[in-house]
Structure 1
Amino acid sequence: MNTVVSKDGTEIAYDRLGEGPPVVLMGGALNDRATCAPIAELLRHRFTTFNYDRRGRGASGDTEPYSVEREIEDLQCVLEEAGGSACLFANCTGGMLALEAVSRGLPVTRLALYEPPYIVDDSHPRLDDAYVERLDALLAEGRRGDAVEHFLVRAVGFPAEVMGHIRQSPAWAGLEALAPSLPHEAAIAGDNSLPRERVSAVTVPTLVIDGTESPPFQRTAMAELAGILPDADYRSLEGQNHKLDPALVAPLLEEFFA
């Protein structure tokens, strides 16, 4: 593990693997760098990968108050570690952050996104103030598990009746550990609207990826996102959903970044 200090003094942890052109990997909601680690391993034979923990998760710090601008500064520092510019892969809410960062001029040469959770129709509820207030209250009370459940049910759309089973899964403790970062994701997502004007300013070549088994609202948004981006390639992975399958995603990234 390596670290870099962001502009506000927050320490950001990352793993560097491989040799070749630089690629930065960035996770989304309830992700630390373990999420993209298998992709980094699959890319290391051709690229130098910089897989990092966003602030507030894993081995990275979390200086208050949080702001999206500070997360963009974190990414800027990782890009500097990568040599000043790099290709970037971002998953889920990380994709929203990546598009915002690139629209502000961060030196990303090629951008790949896996299902940033935009909503462009009325088929799925958007995040709102009530969601954020409830999330903040649960975390203030130390109820991390309930905060994760609130996110999974209200934001992602998991049926409430399956949560008892999910809470018994081996991954649950790790999700609870990441719960304090959920307000960060809410700040990035806003009400899940697609910022069409800012997206249309992202002129770098961009790969938009979704899964054919993802909810219709997600796929509709990805098709619209790809249509707005000036230089986009849109790929759908047969039989996949919002959960990353490194064995399927890595070959697309290798082809696109090369």
Structure 2
Amino acid sequence: MLTVISKDGTQIAYEKIGSGPAIIVVAAAAADHNDATPLAQQLAQSFTVYNYDRRGRGNSTDNSSTYTVDREIEDIEALIHVIGETPSLFGSSAGAVLALEAADKLDNRIAKLALYEPPFIINDGRAPVPADYIQNLNKLVHDGNRSDAVEYFMTAAIGVPAEFLDYMKADPSWGNMEGMAHTLAYDGLIMGDTQSGKPLPTDRWHVHVPTLVMTGENSEPFIQSAAKALVELLPHGEYRALPGQDHSAVMMAPDVLAGAITEFIQP
């Protein structure tokens, strides 16, 4: 993998594949660049894809003693400097919210923004994330209970029923998520209070680039409601539901997702 040094000295590792206009792929919570590789390969048919490990994951380091969302935006900014042109951004789940935050701060350095299922909770469609979620995560990781931290993330943030956890733990991906357990609180900080069941703040994002907010047609109603609410806040936002898809589309239907992204960025 290639590397670039972010503002605070953190080494950000990334893969560069394909040719065409540049697009940066921002991974979801508990994921590194490997999880987005199938999508990156599909996008590489039309774009030069920069698929990176967010700080603290995979081959990227994390030099900050205290995490802030701004540090992750600086990581994206470092990639933009390497690219040398104005890229588009794609982010999924919590990575979609990070991409949104980056577009807010780097508005004139982003061409277009494509988001898949930002996991806002803006109504009573599902239980809100606990107010002490980040503190609980940090304590579990600090005490060495990484598997418990992933379990807490899955149940409290994702909403996975407890009876599914044993099946999930038997999959090798669980061990990978344990390795990234310390970064789960990072995504909690990115989400802020947008998973509290309250309407989205009207003054948090000032994004003026064309933005596509996508959901899966089969995803839960609260996800679809949140995506539509976000579009209403963006001056150049549009909403699209992908037929037959759900929250797993990045890994399970990368061709479908890549097709929608390509159609939006290169109409």
Query: C-alpha displacement at 1:228, in angstroms?
Result: 1.7
The 5-angstrom pairing of residues 1-258 of structure 1 reads 1-63=1-63, 64-106=65-107, 107-192=109-194, 194-199=200-205, 201-243=206-248, 244=250, 245-258=253-266
Amino acid at match of 1:207: L
1:136-168 Cα offsets, whole Å, 9 max, x none, are: 111011111110000000111011121111111
Query: C-alpha displacement at 1:234, in angstroms?
Result: 1.1
Paired residues in the alignment total 257
Which consecutive unaligned segments of at least 5 residues does structure 1 have?
A: none
C-alpha distance in structure 2 between counterparts of 1:91 and 1:226, whole Å: 16
TM-score, normalised relative to structure 2 = 0.92
Query: C-alpha displacement at 1:36, in angstroms?
Result: 1.7
Query: C-alpha displacement at 1:124, in angstroms?
Result: 2.1
1:6-46 Cα offsets, whole Å, 9 max, x none, are: 00000000000111111111111011011221122112232
Amino acid at match of 1:66: Y
Query: C-alpha displacement at 1:126, in angstroms?
Result: 2.6
Cα RMSD (Å) of the superposition? 1.3
Amino acid at match of 1:22: A
TM-score, normalised relative to structure 1 = 0.95
CA contact (8 A) 1:30 1:182 kept: yes
Query: C-alpha displacement at 1:251, in angstroms?
Result: 0.6
Q: Which moved more, 1:132-141 or 1:181-190?
A: 132-141
CA contact (8 A) 1:92 1:116 kept: yes
Q: Which moved more, 1:37-46 or 1:180-189?
A: 37-46
1:140-198 Cα offsets, whole Å, 9 max, x none, are: 11111110000000111011121111111132111111111101011111122533223
1:132 partner SS: helix
C-alpha distance in structure 1 between counterparts of 2:42 and 2:94, whole Å: 23
1:196 partner SS: coil
Aligned identity (percent) is 41
CA contact (8 A) 2:213 2:240 kept: yes
C-alpha distance in structure 1 between counterparts of 2:257 and 2:50, whole Å: 17
